[in-house]
Homo-oligomer: A and B are copies of this chain.
Amino acid sequence: MASCDLNSKNPLLLVSCGDQPGLIHAITGVLLGMGLNIVSNQEFVDRESRRFFMRTEFEGAADFARLGAAVRAALPASADVRVQPPARRRVAILVTKEHHCLGDLLLRHAYGELAAEVVAVIGNHAGLRPLAEKFDMPFFHAESANCTREAHEAEVLRLLSHFTIELLVLAKYMRVLSPEFVARWPNRIINIHHSFLPAFAGAKPYHQAFQRGVKVIGATAHFVTAELDRGPIIVQQVIPVAHTHTPQDLAQAGRDVEQMVLSRALRLVLEDRVFLCGNRTIIFD
């Protein structure tokens, strides 16, 4: 099938560090000195944490290692510097029973809409195997029903170890991951959930939403952290609903907004447009 044209993409310089005068001048000086041309540049200083963020797309023949070293040398020692060539990020998708986010991602992947190479789908139920296989995607069933969380997570990790995964996408994976698991993928796990939390914690959120008579249904994509559903928010969106909608209609609306929000969040992450600032995200869109 068709494929995303990485040749049309430029390399990126990604920097974050404590703010101080002269950062942009120093960084652009390094690029200029190496004959590299800035195509687009976005910076942001968070006033509260006094932290500086910069995403620079550049063109020109660069020795990426040398560029990274030179930028690091020009900045405070604690600076976080990354030079990112155009690349497809290797991604695994974790699922449970619901198909909508997985189907949407596999379709976008198949047509090269994502700068990702999805290498595996892991389900704690086996039901989505046929969908993965339609797209020639390896599906692994890591049972969670008759084992401890430790055993289940060990099996997931064992499966993931066969691949070199850079990003995990929880596409309606309905298990709570242990802090130990999450710690292995810091800010590299993206989750989607119905936006009712904390309003509608617990079971049957769409029945609760129906009972409460809400007029909008939303979804939130966020990074997973040790604290459940409290990780940095990447994308949030809502769609309007009405009293004529049954709980089933609300669930359909929820699925629709979830798949929009998750694919948008994944795209932003894959294009290195998302920086973390404490528990918030800086999005250079």
Binding site for B on A (CB under 8 A): 1-2, 21-22, 24-25, 28-29, 31-32, 35, 37-45, 47, 99-100, 103-104, 107, 110-111, 113, 130-131, 134-135, 198-199, 210-216, 218, 232-238, 240, 242-244, 246, 252, 256, 260, 277, 279-283, 285
A240 partner, pick from B213, B214, B240, beta carbons under 8 A: B240
Q: Which of chain B's residues has its CB closest to A22's CB? A: B32
Number of copies: 4
Bound complex: CA A211 to CA B235 (Å): 15
Q: Which of chain B's residues has its CB closest to A240's CB? A: B240
What residues of B have a CB within 8 angstroms of the CB of A45 in the complex? 38-40
What residues of B have a CB within 8 angstroms of the CB of A39 in the complex? 45, 47
Instruction: Say how far A220's CB is from chain B's closest CB, in angstroms.
Output: 8
**22 A-B pairs whose Cβ atoms sit less than 8 Å apart in the complex:** A1-B131, A21-B35, A21-B37, A40-B44, A40-B45, A40-B244, A99-B107, A99-B111, A100-B107, A100-B111, A103-B107, A103-B111, A104-B104, A104-B107, A110-B131, A211-B279, A213-B233, A215-B233, A243-B280, A243-B283, A244-B285, A256-B260
A interface secondary structure, majority:
mixed
Instruction: Say how far A260's CB is from chain B's closest CB, in angstroms.
Output: 7
A135 partner, pick from B104, B134, B213, beta carbons under 8 A: B134
What residues of B have a CB within 8 angstroms of the CB of A35 in the complex? 21
